[in-house]
Amino acid sequence: MKSTPAGNPPPAKSVSESQIIMTEMVLPSDTNALGTIFGGKVVSLIDIAAAMAAGKHARSVVVTASIDALHFVAPVKLGEYVHIKASVNYAGRTSMEVGVRVDKENPLTGEMKHTATAYLTFVALDSDGKPKLVPPIAPSTDTERRRFEAAKIRREARVKLAKDIQIHNG
């Protein structure tokens, strides 16, 4: 059984305090034979943006615990811009769910299109590499409250899946 740190969590933080927006241009080295960005490159960008949001929220080093519900909905072509938005949807005692949305932009027309969505879980670590308490989230808008409630449901599913995997693997 994992132990969690004792004590009271830090004061709650708003979602906006840790939001991240990154923009990248798709270069030839980022593309496959079809001239679209490698899925792995998108995953890398998602993980970086999410880690930055989680790190800002916790004000500590964070590690990726899981990536789930990653959905690619449209390809991104060579020369297009990729906009990655990440924000903490929910915080438990030592972990945080970060939601990430990826959009593409045609630099010639300005047309934007949603291309991917993902949810990642991060654990905050102290200077000894042990899990540390993180501030709770204080959602303030209807959208933030909706994301917060949906994140709690996803967390329950992740906890169940982790237990099932542990039982299966002995």
For residue range 103-132, what is the model confidence (pLDDT) as tens digits? 999 999 999 999 999 999 999 999 999 999
Q: Looking at the predicted structure, is the pLDDT value of residue 1 above 60?
A: no
Q: Looking at the predicted structure, is the pLDDT value of residue 7 above 90?
A: no
Q: What confidence tens digit (pLDDT) does each residue in 89-99 have?
A: 999 999 999 99
Closest CA to 102 of 45, 63, 40: 45
What domains does the chain contain, in order, with CATH numbers? Answer: 15-169 (3.10.129.10)
Q: In what order do the strands lie in the sheet with 112-125?
A: 20-25, 81-91, 95-105, 112-125, 61-72
pTM of the model: 0.90
Tokens 């991104």 appear where?
76
First-to-final CA distance of the chain: 13
State whether residue 158 is helix, strand or coil.
helix
Structure tokens at 94: 């030592």
